[in-house]
Amino acid sequence: MKNTILAFLLVITTVRADEGMWLPQLINALNYADMKKNGFKLSAEQIYSINKSSMKDAVVQFGGGCTAELISGEGLILTNHHCGFSSIAALSSVANDYLKYGYWAMNRGEELRCENLTVMFINRIEDVTSRVTGSLKPAFSELQRDSAIKAIIKVIENEAKKDGYDAFIRPFFYGNEYYLFVTETFKDIRLVGAPPESIGKFGDETDNWVWPRHNADFSMFRIYADKNNKPADYSKDNVPYKPRYFFPISLKGYEKGDFTMVYGFPGRTTEYLSSNAVDLIMNQQDPVRVRLRGKRLAILEEDMKKNDTIRLMYTSRYAGIANYYKKWDGEMKGLRKFDAVNKKKAFEQGLLELLKNDPAKTAKCNTLLNAFKKNYAEYAPLSKQYDYYTECLMGIDGLRHAAGYTNIFAELKKKQAGKENKFDKLLEDMKKVVPFKNMNPPTDKKLCEAMLSVYVTDIEKENRPAYLDSLLGAYGNDTRRLAEFLYSNSNFNDNRKAKAMLADFEKSAVLYERDPFYQLALSVNKYYQTAILPQLQYLDLQINDLQKEYVQLLRETYKTKKFYPDANSTLRVAYGKVEDYKPRDGVSYGYYTTIDGLVDKNATGVEDYYVKPRLLELYSQSDFGPYVDKKGKLRIAFIASNHTTGGNSGSPVLNAKGELIGTNFDRNWEGTMSDIMYNVNQCRNIVLDVRFTLWIVDKYAGAGHLLKEMKLIK
């Protein structure tokens, strides 16, 4: 044990710079010296400044969940193809399938309006910790504290919301600090261009989360503003937005060891968990979720292979389920290989060792560690139950759809009681959409049978919703027959029946309400929302309070270590190096890929590696223009040791001079554990080389006119 502790103390004092997602306004105070030592050539003020234009003015949150960067003085932005996917899909039809064939606006007039797409700029960030926590009294109960914090946050946010700016406050370090973000959101965003899916999604599920990679995961949009350069609803009179800053693009490339940074909006990480929490994730949550999703995916895949109609119905959902299935699987395996639980335990021992001459702090640390243990022991069974609700029962479309009718029945009851209600409007709206457009009843019946069958084996009788348990009992746990019964006696899983039902809904509602699928949905939702969810939320709050004290203790104890707050969808800077890795014993991966590899993958004939003949033609002509590296190779992607997570997709990846060298789009499978524990030997972000992006725009798409508005560094 002694040795492990010593080893750990060494680790914590010598952590490499690569780990961390830093707040841009604190770079000067915390990271600048280190960044310079690692090669960064600009000033901290060029990263973030309130008064002058800086890089932060060229980074936007895209569509709420991704990042994009400004690459011209005329509002042109670059993000991932998978980030623009839903907007491109919404603009597509069978006649104009922009997913399949790609799209390029050859002039401004051809740029396509994307409804509901917004981008958000950060105008400034302010530390409001003392205002938020200053008036809290020690005597406050947890609840009083919570509501006092909420109230003051509202006040501060409202003060900041003026001159067209919006504002929000987020807690950092579990509520030890609070920051205010003043933002500006643009609502007129237009599609400029996207490559065909065969390029943007090349490798699809086969390559997702995997290095080496060969897809050009990018798309381009333009921000439009009113005449005063301010956000405005769509109007044909709007003009391209003039940004305060945009990134110059380097055609000079990078080599192994070069400094690189990522500027974007990482979503969520949890790096300061206790050993019990990591144990729960690694040994329960990840395995349960992976197993349940694996079963669903196998059934979907089998049916999607049968014909194109079914394939199209499920393709987008399949991708969604598969994405985190694969991520959790990689995370679980990475954590196990890293011996994560024991590393956390050793860390906790090391902490106690450091505190041993301070009885008060030792006592506090022990109290916290014991409380974690107790809370997680209570949390684990509830979390399992909740996962079986969301990933198993709600994986049955029929059940989810039936649950969606709760509201209309409730509104009808109000109408019948002569109360104010929204029934007529709701019914009208429901009649407009094809209820089960993306569901094939026979496929869903199979899912139903399979999900109920794992449920019955894994969830004890006393932990089941009453009606579900009685149905299972009535069918002697024969889930095939039960699924048969549900599907042949319900109106909630078939378009034809649902249409007829909506046509005379008001008259026959009493009958429809008795529908077994609907009754099942009611019983399931009621059970989880009353017996499980409130307890889980309560424990979440408790654990959050413990984490708050624990992180504070860590920061007081490891005084010389720099701490970064967990990701929470706010603007962050990560920096590291262009760097290769060894995924396992005896195997090394290079740090970049080229178009040769794409062509090799294509030659395997695997469906995910299909490309259109045009790409192969350009390849055979070696028409690579100025986009090649020093050896004349056209690179596609590279990896680096920047600490990133979901939400960083589309983020600008910059060199030491702040020039754009690529767009972030994924992480390596062996490194997906970085959301919980970052391991510099295994964790890499995956970046699309901007030279490949430009090659596609220029040579493949013939949209070279766009390059004229960019600032290219040759």
Q: Please list, residue by residue across 601-627, b when 16 or more beta carbons sit within 10 angstroms of its beta carbon and e when fewer do.
A: bbeeeeebbebeeebeebbeeeebeeb
**C-beta of 66: minimal distance to ligand GLU in Å?**
6
Asked if residue 666 lies in contact with residue 593, where contact means CB atoms within 8 angstroms, the answer is no
Note whether 569 and 265 are within 8 A (CB). yes
Question: Out of ligand ARG, ligand GLU, none, which partner does residue 5 contact, by CB within 5 to 8 A per kind?
Answer: none
Binding at 648: pick from ligand GLU, ligand ARG, none (beta carbon under 5-8 Å per type): ligand GLU
Residues 6+ apart with CB under 8 A from 679: 334, 338, 671, 673
* Nearer residue to ligand GLU within complex by CB, 91 or 683: 683
Q: Counting contacts by CB under 6 A, is residue 666 touching ligand ARG?
A: yes
Q: 643 and 15 in contact (C-beta within 8 Å)?
A: no
219-225 and 112-113 beta bridge pairing: unpaired
Cβ proximity to ligand GLU, 83 vs 543, nearer residue: 83
Least separation in angstroms between residue 671's CB and ligand GLU is 9
Q: Which of residues 318-377 bind ligand ARG (CB under 6 A)?
A: 319, 323
Minimum CB separation of residue 330 from ligand ARG in Å reads: 10
CA distance 76 to 241: 8
Q: Residue 647 binds what, of ligand ARG, ligand GLU, none (CB under 5 to 8 Å, by partner type)? A: ligand GLU
Classify residue 586 as exposed, middle or buried by CB count within 10 Å of its CB (0-12, 13-18, 19+): exposed
Residue found under tokens 């983020």: 651
**Position 11, amino acid:** V
- Among ligand GLU, ligand ARG, none, the one that 204 touches (CB under a kind-dependent 5 to 8 A) is ligand ARG
Q: Assess 663 for contact with ligand ARG (CB under 6 A).
A: no
646 binds ligand ARG (CB under 6 A): yes
Nearer to ligand ARG, 48 or 678 (CB): 678
Are the C-beta atoms of 102 and 202 separated by less than 8 Å? no
**In the complex with ligand ARG, which residue's Cβ is closer, 49 or 672?**
672
Name 120's bridge partners. 61, 185
Nearest to ligand GLU of 327, 635 (CB atom)? 327
CB of 521 to ligand ARG, least distance (A): 28
Q: Spell out a b/e string for 39-58, using b for 16 or more CB atoms within 10 Å of the CB, else e.
A: ebebebebbbbeeeebbbbb
For residue 471, the minimal CB distance to ligand GLU (Å) is: 39
Instruction: Give the CA angle between residues 210, 81, 220 to the nearest 5°.
Output: 140
Cβ at position 320, least distance to ligand ARG in Å: 7
User: Mask: binding to ligand GLU, 38-77, rule CB under 6 A, as x and -?
Assistant: ----------------------------x-----------
Closer residue to ligand ARG (CB): 213 or 222: 213
Q: Which of residues 181-210 bind ligand ARG (CB under 6 A)?
A: 204-205, 208-209
Contact segment (CB under 6 A) with ligand GLU among 302-310, 420-428, 455-463, 665-673 equals 665-673
Closer residue to ligand ARG (CB): 67 or 238: 67
Interface stretch with ligand GLU, choices 351-359, 459-467, 507-515, 639-647 (CB under 6 A): 639-647
Q: What contacts 93, CB < 8 A, 6 or more positions away?
A: none
> Can residue 649 be called a binding residue for ligand GLU (CB under 6 A)?
yes
Q: Which residues pair with 103 in a beta bridge?
A: 194
Length of the chain: 714
Q: How far apart are CA 23 and CA 484, in angstroms?
A: 55
Q: Contacting ligand GLU (CB under 6 A), which of 198, 593, 648, 668? A: 648
**Is 666 one of the binding residues for ligand GLU (CB under 6 A)?**
yes
List of residues 6+ apart from 62 with CB closer than 8 A? 68, 77, 79, 83, 119, 221, 650
Contact region for ligand GLU (CB under 6 A) — 153-161, 273-281, 556-564, 663-671? Answer: 663-671
Pick one of 72, 385, 642, 645: the residue that binds ligand GLU (CB under 6 A).
645
Q: Which is nearer to ligand GLU, 24 or 646 (CB)?
A: 646
Q: Is 674 in the site for ligand ARG (CB under 6 A)?
A: no
Contact set for ligand GLU, span 505-534 (CB under 6 A): none
Burial degree of 201 (CB within 10 A; 0-12, 13-18, 19+): buried
Number of residues engaging ligand GLU in binding (CB under 6 A): 10
Q: Which stretch binds ligand GLU (CB under 6 A): 93-101, 167-175, 293-301, 646-654?
A: 646-654
Name residues whose C-beta falls within 8 Å of residue 292's C-beta, 6 or more positions apart in sequence: 387, 388, 391, 392, 395, 451, 454
Distances (CA, A) of 678 to 191, 329, 683: 36, 16, 7
Closest CA to 501 of 396, 414, 400, 401: 401
Choose among ligand ARG, ligand GLU, none what residue 218 binds, the Cβ cut-off being 5 to 8 Å by kind.
Answer: none
Residues in Cβ contact with 523 at an 8 Å cutoff, skipping those fewer than 6 apart: 465, 466, 467, 468
Contact assessment for residue 353 and residue 5, using Cβ atoms and an 8 Å cutoff: yes
Closer residue to ligand GLU (CB): 491 or 668 = 668
Part of the chain binding ligand GLU (CB under 6 A), chosen from 410-418, 566-574, 640-648, 702-710: 640-648
Q: Which is nearer to ligand ARG, 238 or 651 (CB)?
A: 651
Q: Which residues have a catalytic role annotated? A: 82, 217, 649
Q: According to CB under 6 A, which one of 635, 667, 684, 691 is a site residue for ligand GLU?
A: 667
Amino acid identity for residue 601 in this structure:
K
Binding site for ligand GLU (CB under 6 A): 66, 644-649, 665-667
Binding site for ligand ARG (CB under 6 A): 82, 204-205, 208-209, 319, 323, 646, 649, 666
